Amino acid sequence: MSEITKRKKDHIQITQTGVASYIKTAGFENYEFIHNALPEIDLEDVTTETRFLNRWFGFPLFISSMTGGYHDATILNATIAAFCEAYNLPFGVGSQRAMLEDPSQAESFKVVREEAPSAFIASNIGGCQLIGGLAPEKIDKMIDTIRADAIIVHLNPVQELRQKAGNNTFSGVREGIRSLVKDVEIPVIVKETGSGLSPGVISQLVDCGVAAVDVAGAGGTSWGRVENIRNGSVGIHFTDEWGIPTVDCLLGAREKIEDRCELISSGGIRSSMDIAKSLCMGAVMGAAALPVLQAIQIGGYDGLETLFKRWQDDFVLLLCLLGCEHPSDLDMIHLRRVAVR
């Protein structure tokens, strides 16, 4: 088994049990919805349709980038793709670096377009791979393999620095992102992988011209912890809990984004209440990785559908209770900070 295949298998095995999740939370429990006893709306008037990057989706949920680039990833990617096609949800494939290095690993990516001919699918590549510029033929390869609607660039310095033989050079990532934005015609989305984007980093990304940022904050899967488990680190390491909680990222992003780029909330999204709170805080979409992986591991496509239908039902009920017809009606006025008791 190649090193990259082993690494990707380890990532699924370690994360799916939840053992690599942060102890600290994303912070959603610190906010409560304000009950509205006069909603003045009918349940049937509520819609979950959401506009993101000039396209309409069935629900404000983006399925976060996870895997691809080795044989066993094909089933997982095919399941997610078929599901997103059925429910008109956007999703991102995992890093395509493996297939750029070994074209025989493209199958687990190609399958997503076969299963989802019309869904919104995003490519994925690490920021470190953009240092010095990614060759145009590689960019074309990533996009063409899945007929991508967008490219996601992931930033993961904690993971790289804790991974054996991981990357330890980060100078030039920002310029790489700026060039990518200029070189491609599809939108570029930049995300963290669970340690969060600070207001300062979001400002720089907005200046690079990215179309959307996904804060991917702390409170869900900790990639410091994943790599610390993999490298056999003994006891607690400070990077296990390194990162900005998702709610802090969202609140910090509000003033930096204005109308110049769209905001995705992820990192510890574990219910549709978390998505709704994120939308109140300025996000257009919530995104999740681990809950999707776990639902598929338990029940395959049906397991994912069961999870999604519960989130959908709860979300519709919540919008009605708040007197909101559309997800875009959600606003900070619907939340109150819970007093520390």
Ligand X SMILES: Cc1cc2nc3c(=O)[nH]c(=O)nc-3n(C[C@H](O)[C@H](O)[C@H](O)COP(=O)(O)O)c2cc1C
Interface residues with ligand X (CB under 6 A)?
11-12, 15, 64-67, 94-95, 124, 152, 154, 191, 193-194, 216, 220-221, 266-269, 288-290, 293
- Minimal CB distance residue for ligand X: 220
Instruction: Output the six-digit token pair for 266.
Output: 């992820």
Q: What is the DSSP letter of 71?
A: T
Q: Which residues contact 290 (CB under 8 A, 6 or more apart)?
A: 15, 16, 18, 21, 220, 221
Backbone angles phi, psi at 265, to 5 degrees: -105, 125
Closer to ligand X by CB, 150 or 320: give it. Answer: 150
Rounded distance, CA 137 to CA 238, Å?
A: 40
Using CB atoms within 10 A of its CB, is residue 109 exposed (0-12), middle (13-18) or buried (19+)? buried
Q: Please, where are the H alpha helices in the chain?
A: 3-16, 73-87, 97-101, 107-115, 136-146, 157-162, 173-183, 199-207, 223-230, 246-257, 272-280, 290-322
- Three-class SS of residue 46? coil
CB of 178 to ligand X, least distance (A): 19
CB of 34 to ligand X, least distance (A): 27
Rounded distance, CA 162 to CA 228, Å?
A: 7
CB of 103 to ligand X, least distance (A): 18
- The answer to whether 24 touches 245, Cβ cutoff 8 Å, is yes
End-to-end CA distance of the chain: 53
Contacts 24+ apart (CB under 8 A), 18-21: 18/290, 18/294, 19/229, 20/221, 20/222, 20/223, 20/225, 20/226, 20/229, 21/220, 21/221, 21/222, 21/225, 21/268, 21/290
Rounded distance, CA 97 to CA 77, Å?
A: 16
Amino acid at 57: F
CB of 79 to ligand X, least distance (A): 14
CA–CA distances in Å: residue 235 to residues 51, 228, 316: 45, 9, 44
